[in-house]
Amino acid sequence: MKIIGAQAVIESLKNEGVEVVFGYPGGKVLTLYDELYQADFHHILTRHEQGAAHAADGYARATGKVGVCIATSGPGATNLVTGIATAYMDSVPLVAIAGQVEVPLIGRDSFQESDIRGITTPITKHNYLVKKIEELPTVIKEAFYIASTGRPGPVVIEIAKDLFGEVFDYQYPEAITLRGYEPVFAGNEEAISKVVEELKQAKRPLVFVGGGVHIADAAEEIREFLKLTGFPVISTLMGLGAVPGNFEQNLGMAGMHGTYAANMATTECDLLLGIGVRFNDRVTGLLEKFAPAAKVIHCDIDPAEINKNVRADLRVVGDLRWTLAQLCKMVKELEQTELTERVTDWNKTVQNWKTEKPLTYEQRPRQIMPQAVVEKVSQITQGDAIVVTDVGQHQMWVAQYYNFTHKRSLLTSGGLGTMGYGLPAAIGAQIGLPDKTVVLFSGDGGMMMNCQELATAAELNLPIKMFVINNMVLGMVAQWQRMFYGERYSHSSIKGKTDFVKLAEAMGVTGFRATKPEEIDEVIAKAFNTPGPVLVDIWVAEDENVLPMVPGGATLDQMVLEG
């Protein structure tokens, strides 16, 4: 059929099953937006392009679908960059469509021209600059295929402005073949057999679950494997929720702010089975002494991750749904007690660590403790919510004290550590899962990064419950200054600078505040009982640290536990 390029974009999105896009209009995409208006396609107007990218990211993480965002050329496109980089670091399927100046003007430093393809090359799986209208349908088909297959990630499509109005004979390809890109699903069964042989020999095995388990939708498989083997399990920040927090064998999060039991188990285990983990610096501590007594088995869909940080004695490359299904199948063929009896003493040891040194904090009589806020919200939601965070101290307290029980229940910027991610990502998650309770934890620093999206939440009347853990400092920065920089708080105090209740109300969001411990129960209950978006400004202790903490350059067993 004969249509213009703007119509072709919309038809292509429909062909890919896209139900909603997030964006912000501008000069080079006005023709596309005119067609969006006429097509009545579901578009969410954010208040900043960065908000659109993070919202598409949150939508993708919560639903497992590809998130889509749109921006104009130049500053519109460059405002997407932080969101694209965030998605890239955490392997989130995202397609970002950016306008570009007209084909004859490309490369002439034209008004609102930027080389977004060049800018985003290091932070995308692939990107395109479309200058011929006939290529547009195939490019869009390829972009969605690349973004969603193998190890997911963001893809950028730049489209020259004149193509949006150009008429051509549109036909959407049913399938595509990309030379050199062949995503793996099934791996090598012989490698699985070798893994099982190692499992049979191990006396102190430990399963290490990462965000790849959520990406592969393999939470059920990992839970079955743990029940079959009886092995203890630890998690990365991104892996939280793959195994329920109250699962007996779960020792909690490992790494810089991990639990004592998780870090000690990593140090003492003789076999470490990594499932969809990156072994990044936040979980390894001093790399040369990470898991010093262990044989390391690394299972991942991306061969580039294996041996990148931690040397693997065995590797299994394949989709984790396939890997874990094969592991469960072979483990079932063993004698029922062949694995479980061997690790009885080891399980007693790790449970003792868990019991003797649990996560704990000091209750102060006249100050609200941030951990208590997280615990209360976890209790009210019973772990059955989509929890979104910004980055900093509150993020770690959520990881430590919220009882995650479901897959895809924690949305957070793990790899890039993006302040300002939380609010727009919560919007995306609520749009994608309108019947779920969505909870946002942010800091007083992070909330200001993209606070304009409060207006988006208000306009759409999204029932997001937002809790600002307000210690009136840039919390994690201040903690490092307190612990390692002689208490020299260089530009980390933001005391008294923002009234978050007034800010929320100015944007059309209901605002509450709690400043005393006795107000917490009532104000949190009020937030959940109030329709629409609600922001609760909670004044917490200014000098509280996230503990345990592994200082930079230390090993995992050299945790600072208190004080």
Active site residue ranges: 49, 111-112, 161, 476
**What tokens does 304 get?**
């580039």
CA distance 409 to 393: 19
Token pair of 62 as six digits = 């919560």
| Cβ atoms < 10 Å from Cβ of 356 | 9
Q: CA dist 396 to 115, 303, 310, 389, 390, Å?
A: 37, 29, 24, 9, 10
Per the CB < 8 A criterion, the answer to whether 378 and 426 are in contact is no
Beta pairing, strands 2-4 & 167-169: antiparallel
Asked whether 557 and 286 are in contact (CB, 8 A), the reply is: no
Nearest partner of 178 among 149, 130, 140, 142, judged by Cα: 142
CA–CA separation, 242 and 482 (whole Å): 34
Cis peptide before 303 (omega within 30 of 0): no
Q: Which strands form 438-443's sheet, in the order they lie side by side? A: 410-411, 386-389, 438-443, 465-470, 534-539, 510-514
* CA neighbor of 251 nearest in space, from 281, 276, 272, 282: 272
Of 557, 513, 551, the C-alpha closest to 282 is 551
Taking the CA atoms of 492, 494, 495 and 501 in sequence, report the sign of the dihedral they define. Answer: negative
CA dihedral (401, 406, 408, 412) in degrees, to 10, reads 0
CA 25 to CA 496: how far, in whole Å? 35
- Assess contact for 49 and 4: CB atoms under 8 A: no
Q: What DSSP letter does each residue of 239-304 carry, written as one string?
A: TTTSS-TT-TTEEEE-STT--HHHHHHHHH-SEEEEES----HHHHSSGGGSSTT-EEEEEES-GG
Closest by CA to 426, choosing from 161, 114, 145, 51, is 51
User: Cα–Cα distance between 242 and 473 in angstroms, integer?
Assistant: 32
